[in-house]
Amino acid sequence: MDTTHAHNAAASSATPLLETVNLVKHFDISGGLLDRIQWRGSNLEFARTVVRAVNNVSLSIAKGETLSVVGESGCGKSTLARTVLGLYPPQSGQVLYRGERIDNLSPQQMLPYRTKMQMVFQDPYASLNPRMKVREILEEPVRFHHKEKSRSEVKDRVAEVMKQVGVCPDWGERYPHEFSGGQRQRISIARALVVDTEFIVADEPISALDVSIQAQILNLLMDAQEQRSLTYLFISHDLSVVEHISTRVAVMYLGFLCELAPTEELFTNPRHPYTQALLSAIPQLGAPSQDHIRLSGDVPTPINLPPGCVFHGRCPHADKRCRREIPAFLASGDTTLVACHGVEEGRI
């Protein structure tokens, strides 16, 4: 296991398949003119309310690896995933695919990349059009991206992928509502695989499913990765699933990356205090409820980010510097990156 990690780390520094550089995504939720009027003293002001969903995120994903982004709800992991695919335009920063910038391309210029980058969504009930037959859902992307393909070629391609994901091709004439949640998620995965996919963003692909079905879908994702050497950006809040399938793991808190490390390293030797708290909170099967690290307080809103390190309000190790200065994302050890003053100073 260690050699593959070293290999992956080396590969990622050479030619990342996907890279984000200081990616920032904010949402303006101030609303209309009247909503923005505020009194400050005796002056009238127009205030802006901004949700700082993703702040300065830089990461790179090597070909063939699974990079997971974990974090609690509202930490910006889904926004990051969507910004990477260009579903949201970023405020600033860059997204690079095979070294080429893709965040500033026109929809037309983006087309060749769209066949390579696909997405699997969380809710298989909402992400399949209920008015389309499964065959139509799966044929649409092939016909759109490969206009040169004949009708029978498209049909063969769809049948092949359906077989691969374990959905009988004869069921193509059915509608999504006739399938169970697990089957529907198979269909969404098939939809992501019918074009020349290299890179899949999977946003909580199994959290809407039952345990026994989760295992089926995870196996399917791992098999597909092996057969087609796919690269995954896997978004999840379920840490045991993340530990199972990822090559490397990035931990996010309030739109900032706190730690990025190879899976084994992160789970055995978490460095950032938030990662430590998060890992200690995972319920372990059969183990008595251990003394997990208790965090005080709640996650602040991304509307008013605290100054300094965003985690300082809940961190047991916070000091004056943490309250003032945003920590840089620095290397700690060979393969780990951590954004923490305490780790940098050797206090933690």
Residues that bind another protein (CB under 8 A): 1, 72-73, 180, 182-183, 210-216, 218-219, 222-223, 237, 239-241, 243-245, 263-264, 267, 277-278, 280-289, 292, 294-295, 298-299
**Least separation, in Å, of the C-beta of 27 and another protein?**
20
Cα–Cα distance, 76 to 99 (Å, whole number): 24
137 vs 208, beta carbon nearer another protein: 208
Distances from the Cα of 334 to the Cαs of 3, 59, 252, 330, in angstroms? Answer: 13, 16, 20, 11
**Whether the Cβ atoms of residue 125 and residue 188 lie closer than 8 Å to each other:** no
Q: At what angle do helices 211-228 and 181-193 cross, to 10 degrees?
A: 10
Identity of the residue, 91 or 225, whose beta carbon is nearer to another protein in the bound complex: 225
In the bound state with another protein, the residue whose beta carbon lies nearer, of 104 and 304, is 304
Nearer to another protein, 20 or 183 (CB): 183
CB 278, min distance to another protein, A: 6
Task: Please name the amino acid found at residue 65.
Answer: E
Distance, CA of 57 to CA of 53 (rounded, Å): 11
Rounded least distance, CB 242 to another protein, Å: 9
Pairing of strands 199-203, 117-120: parallel
In the complex with another protein, the residue whose CB is nearer, 195 or 315, is 315
Least distance (Å) between residue 70 CB and another protein: 10
Question: Which residue stretches of 165-205 are H helix?
Answer: 181-193
H or E element at residue 104? none
Output the smallest distance, CB 223 to another protein, in A.
8
User: What CA–CA distances, in Å, run from 62 to 122, 159, 231, 254, 273?
Assistant: 24, 30, 8, 25, 27
In the complex, minimum distance from the CB of residue 66 to another protein, in angstroms, rounded to a whole number: 9
Q: Give the distance, in angstroms, between the CA of residue 247 and the centroid of all CA atoms in the same chain.
A: 14
Compare residues 55 and 276 and give the one whose CB is closer to another protein. 276
